[in-house]
């Protein structure tokens, strides 16, 4: 037991030597206190400036890392970082799913599927192509790996922004669903390209089969747990947890992720669909939870989602290595310009061009071309490279890992400070915001 605790402390703090259990508790409590105190101050400033709070959370992490004396760095590959990111992203996706209607998701399922599968692949190939243009000596497979890491969009950033500006429903559904489904594609492509680099070959049939398995298991687990939760909080006789529906959201979101992952499926997809099917259980069950219970659930889930965002982005900000970012600044900005102004529009216009039935307008396509923040999943994939042996000679892997992490952190900074900050303005400018009298709630 002592060995396990010492390993956990070492993973938590990134220290080479692990102190005793008491030291572990002090480190954990001090870091959590610092993170939440900094995040609360950042939230107040964000409200005063009327900017997305995740931007200030990220900047708070940047500030506390070198200035707070009691801060113990939380490394990218540490257990603490993985726990915070995994729980936070799962619950944020779950909470985002609570506000969506299943009928609307199914209605726009074609374009969501196009964005989540071929869209991610197109984005990865284009980014890899731009990386090769900038660094001709970079082999194709590592360049493609960089594109795969950057391809997934970020629900932790997108969902809170959408909840504040209240877009037209179909735009909200497509953006949130894409951010949930494309994590599956990104993870599968990541494993596939890593195998290609290490072994020199890869089975496309195995990769496609793995994707289908993760997708089906994630959908089944998420739908099953979501409907079960809807039954347990309903006004029926079996609604044993109707008075504790808000607390039940935690085991359902976390359980969906864990069960799906244990069975070989996508945990993030399962968490998202658990929220969707929970909120849509009323279409199957006539007697839903009382209005007061739904209000309590909404307040609790919203607050916990905010707490998750605080933890994720403050820690993420504290991990930014500005020396590495500075080393790759010029090339990184050129790469991101291609990523933002070429890759994303190419994905949107090609995918939406195949969905003629829903008659997407030019303004909607323009808006969706701009809205694609980078965050949790790319940072997690970049961090995992530190634990994978790619078989590069000499110190080439260390240089490549440093390059990928610098580009990912630069992408997070640019997409948050430029795209996320301008998203509400662009939505209003293009008249894509719901009139106040038509907004839900």
- Contact (CB, 8 A) for 430 and 401: no
DSSP character at residue 148: H
Distance CA 225, CA 281 (A): 11
* pLDDT(208) > 50: yes
DSSP three-state, residue 167:
strand
pLDDT at 194 over 70: yes
Is pLDDT of 178 > 90?
no
Q: Does domain 78-438 have CATH number 1.20.1530.20?
A: yes
Top pLDDT among 213 and 375 is at 213
With a cut of 50, say whether residue 13 has pLDDT above it.
no
Nearest Cα to 151, choosing from 339, 410, 409, 354?
339
The mean per-residue pLDDT over the stretch 273-281 comes to 87
CA separation (Å) from 313 to 54, 153, 359, 412, 436?
Answer: 6, 15, 37, 10, 30
- H helix runs in 200-244, sequence order: 204-232
Strand stretches in 260-394, DSSP E: none
Domain positions in the chain are 78-438
- Could you tell me the pLDDT band of residue 12, with boundaries at 50, 70 and 90? very low
Region 325-329: mean pLDDT is: 86
Average pLDDT across the chain, whole number:
81
Give the pLDDT of residue 56. 87
Distance CA 121, CA 186 (A): 8
Give 194 or 220, the one with higher predicted confidence: 220
DSSP code per residue over 359-388: ---HHHHHHHHH-----HHHHHHHHHGGG-
Is residue 441's pLDDT more than 80?
no
Taking Cα atoms as reference points, which of 226, 218, 219, 305 lies closest to residue 263?
Answer: 218
- Three-state SS for 331? helix
Residue entry with tokens 């504790």:
244
Q: Give, for 413, the enclosing helix (H) or strand (E).
A: helix 396-414
pLDDT number for residue 213: 84
Question: What is the separation of C-alpha 79 from the centre of its chain, rounded to a whole number of angstroms?
Answer: 18
Most confident of 130-134, 163-167, 201-205: 130-134
Mean pLDDT of 98-119: 86
Give percent above pLDDT 70 in the chain: 89
> Which comes out higher in pLDDT, residue 261 or 188?
261
* pLDDT at residue 158 tops 90: no
């Amino acid at each position: 037991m002592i060995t396990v605790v010492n390993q956990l402390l070492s993973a938590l703090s990134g220290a080479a030597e692990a102190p005793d259990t008491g030291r572990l508790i002090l480190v954990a409590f001090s870091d959590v206190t610092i993170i939440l105190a900094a995040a609360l101050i950042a939230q107040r400033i964000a409200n005063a400036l009327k900017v997305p709070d995740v931007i200030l959370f990220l900047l708070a992490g940047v500030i506390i890392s070198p200035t707070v004396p009691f801060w113990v760095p939380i490394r990218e590959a540490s257990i603490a970082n993985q726990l915070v990111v995994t729980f936070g992203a799962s619950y944020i996706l779950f909470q985002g799913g609570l506000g969506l209607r299943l009928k609307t998701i199914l209605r726009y399922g074609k374009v969501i599927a196009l964005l989540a599968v071929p869209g991610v692949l197109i984005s990865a190939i284009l980014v890899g192509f731009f990386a090769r243009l900038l660094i001709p000596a970079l082999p194709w497979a590592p360049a493609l790996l960089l594109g795969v890491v950057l391809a997934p969009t970020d629900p932790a950033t997108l969902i809170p922004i959408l909840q504040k500006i209240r877009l037209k429903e179909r735009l909200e559904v497509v953006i949130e669903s894409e951010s949930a489904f494309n994590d599956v594609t990104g993870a599968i492509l990541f494993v596939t390209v890593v195998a290609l680099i290490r072994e020199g070959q890869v089975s496309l049939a195995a990769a496609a089969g793995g994707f289908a398995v993760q997708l089906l298991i994630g959908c089944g687990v998420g739908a099953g747990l979501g409907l079960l939760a809807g039954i347990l909080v309903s006004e029926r006789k079996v609604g044993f947890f109707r008075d504790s529906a808000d607390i039940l959201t935690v085991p359902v979101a976390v359980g969906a992720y864990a069960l799906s992952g244990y069975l070989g499926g996508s945990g993030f997809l399962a968490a998202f669909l658990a929220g969707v099917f929970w909120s849509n259980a009323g279409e199957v069950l006539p007697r839903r939870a009382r209005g007061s219970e739904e209000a309590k659930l909404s307040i609790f889930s919203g607050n916990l989602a905010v707490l998750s965002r605080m933890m994720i982005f403050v820690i993420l900000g504290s991990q930014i290595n500005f020396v590495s970012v500075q080393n790759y600044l010029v090339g990184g900005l050129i790469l991101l310009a291609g990523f933002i102004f070429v890759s994303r529009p190419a994905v949107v216009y090609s995918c939406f061009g195949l969905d003629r039935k829903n008659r997407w307008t030019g303004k909607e396509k323009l808006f969706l071309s701009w809205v694609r923040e980078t965050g949790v999943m790319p940072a997690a994939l970049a961090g995992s490279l530190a634990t994978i042996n790619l078989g590069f000679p000499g110190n080439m892997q260390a240089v490549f890992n440093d390059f990928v992490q610098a580009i990912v952190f630069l992408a997070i900074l640019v997409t948050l400070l430029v795209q996320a900050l301008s998203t509400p303005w662009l939505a209003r400018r293009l008249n894509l915001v719901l009139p106040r009298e038509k907004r839900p709630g």
